[in-house]
Chain A
């Protein structure tokens, strides 16, 4: 079966972070804020990661957009005690939020540390709830969430192709 993949051309990336914002908006991810960032509690499905290459004085700042890698053989799936994270026949690693018990074993097993946990009930600035995407479930307190590869958009495209 064919597998989905995503190509990011790092030579063209200017680190504008528009993709990060688009991901947050599309997937109803609560807004990042400085307080939770200081605690390391922000949720990002797609994150811009800065890192420094080479030695001083020839250092170069590089930026790497990092979504979930949707591994072929994902360690997060193996360790889940309840099967709340699963891989589809098209290679998309998904999370069943309604089944997750919040043990955070998958988050610790992930070699890319891309899975996120809902430390509190997600909240948006007043009025912003009205702009939530109706195609994506809002997650709740105490469960793990992750990049779904915009699974809902694939679903929509598939419906469109059928008619």
Chain B
């Protein structure tokens, strides 16, 4: 049977990173661990001596850490949101990219939270937020929203992992006890499949409003104050758009690396990158539109306190960061993504890297210039990050990549059962679905049942996948 052969091949290729590790893997882990260890040294230095070891001052009370916080929470919108939207809209090309996207979300939220902990003057008193928490404060909205988001996206990552974990329990041989515990007794009975599909589709709907709320309340931390160029009504949607924008860019970079390292050209195909590239270009334009609206209203209103901040970004001390952002988030992506000739793999990876950097600069350009030019005109600040802040930024990135690399060594980074399901059912389901779009005969009773099945994404009726044919 052709299908059986294809299934076998899927398993072999996609489980290979878990079965064998090359020397390069250990070198990567060692290098990343070294950076992480250095970041811990820097953090303990800060913990012992106080936040004075950073470049922060009065009035620039927030700097790199808050920038990182907004940035990392933004990146986290790659996974859950994109995967959920693609699942709900039954986009068939989602199958091989959902897992790698969802992992980004779960891993990167930790660094968003960690950035806040690094920023606290008294991290030992963090429990005061539970003990004395006040819901009038936007920071409490953040705590609530991010906690829900972290929980929901972890569940949303874990649920579709269960059949694959069970597969590894049965076939990989390594770490059997670990996979046995995590598989939760999955046997692949039709009832289990039915329940899993149901829960996944409920979670997919649930995580979308949560994801949108997360970056909205992150923006509210700034927008709820009266500081110039923070007190803006479009900050909520502006941040969400920026978050999805940077998230897709990070996803493309991650997928390109996975494909290159594990030779998954047959699974993460050019068409996946093309589709994501078009999505990324749409987000480029959307982000540009929001940025333009934000700055034009400020400029036209021309309030003196706002203009101080405005000019410090356009021609003043933050000029380099501002125009760097424009270059990375607008010029480079438009050059590479807007036409088919330039939208090659290389072009997409270059523009994704540029966008990731540009969006970090965007967060920086929102946080710092406003603080450096406060409302009362006599107080001016300068901000230069210290080695501690730079080390912790490097540490966060290294730790994130390290966790991601380790994940690919413990779990398949491309969902095996979803690929199999696609091979077995998707083609006929999509064909049936397309028939319903077309004008023609009213469907018969037999067609109707078929359509309903096609509508609920793939309940495997015929044969369970695990321990299959």
Contact = CB atoms under 8 A, between A and B. Distances in A.
A20 interface: no
B225 A79 contact: yes
A81 B374 contact: no
Interface string B114-129: 0010011111011011
B374 A113 contact: yes
A9 B256 CA distance: 68
Contacts of A100: 121-122, 125
Interface string A28-51: 000000000001111000000111
A117 B137 contact: no
Given A78-B136, A81-B143, A105-B221, A116 B129 contact: no
B173 interface: no
A98 to B, nearest CB: 9
Interface string A11-24: 00000000000000
B26 interface: no
Contacts of B226: 75, 109, 111
B371 interface: yes
Interface residues of A, number: 38
Interface string B219-239: 001001111000000000000
Interface stretch (A87-95, A118-126, A149-157): A118-126
B50 A99 contact: no
Interface in A68-120: 75, 78-84, 99-105, 107-109, 111-113, 116-120
Contacts of A42: 58
A133 interface: no
Interface string B349-387: 000000000000000000000010011111101100000
Given A104-B121, A118-B121, A141-B50, A81 B140 contact: yes
Contact of B120 (A50, A103, A111, A119): A103
B137 A111 contact: no
What's the dominant secondary structure at chain B's contact region? Answer: loop
Contacts of A144: 121
Contacts of B123: 101
A75 B119 CA distance: 21
Contacts of B464: none
B133 interface: yes
A35 to B, nearest CB: 11
A142 B378 CA distance: 26
B133 A81 contact: yes
Nearest to A100: B122
B16 interface: no
Interface in B232-259: none
Contacts of A79: 136-139, 224-225
Contacts, number: 129
A101 B49 contact: no
A121 to B, nearest CB: 7
B423 interface: no
A141 B51 CA distance: 8
Interface in B361-419: 371, 374-379, 381-382
B137 A80 contact: yes
A108 B368 CA distance: 11
A82 B121 contact: no
Interface in B116-159: 116, 119-123, 125-126, 128-129, 131-134, 136-140, 143
Contact of A112 (B62, B134, B376): B376
Interface string B22-60: 000000000000000000000000000111100011111
A143 interface: yes
Q: Which of A39, A121, A144 has the most CB of B within 10 A?
A: A39
Interface string A117-148: 11111000000000000000000011110000
Nearest to A141: B50
Nearest to B119: A103
A112 B125 CA distance: 27
Given A40-B57, A117-B61, A111 B376 contact: yes
A114 to B, nearest CB: 9
A83 B132 contact: yes
Given A50-B378, A108-B61, A117-B58, A101 B129 contact: yes
A113 B129 contact: no
Contacts of A109: 225-227
A104 B128 contact: no
B421 to A, nearest CB: 45
Contact of A102 (B120, B136, B140): B120
Contact of B379 (A39, A103, A113, A118): A113
Q: Which of A50, A108, A111 has the most CB of B within 10 A?
A: A108
A21 B126 CA distance: 35
A143 B139 CA distance: 17
A54 to B, nearest CB: 14
Contacts of A111: 226-227, 374-376
Given A40-B57, A118-B121, A121-B50, A78 B137 contact: yes
Contacts of A84: 128, 132
A118 B382 CA distance: 18
5 contacts: A40-B58, A81-B134, A103-B119, A108-B225, A118-B50
Given A111-B227, A113-B374, 6 more contacts: A41-B58, A75-B226, A78-B137, A82-B131, A101-B128, A144-B121
Interface of A: 39-42, 49-51, 75, 78-84, 99-105, 107-109, 111-113, 116-121, 141-144
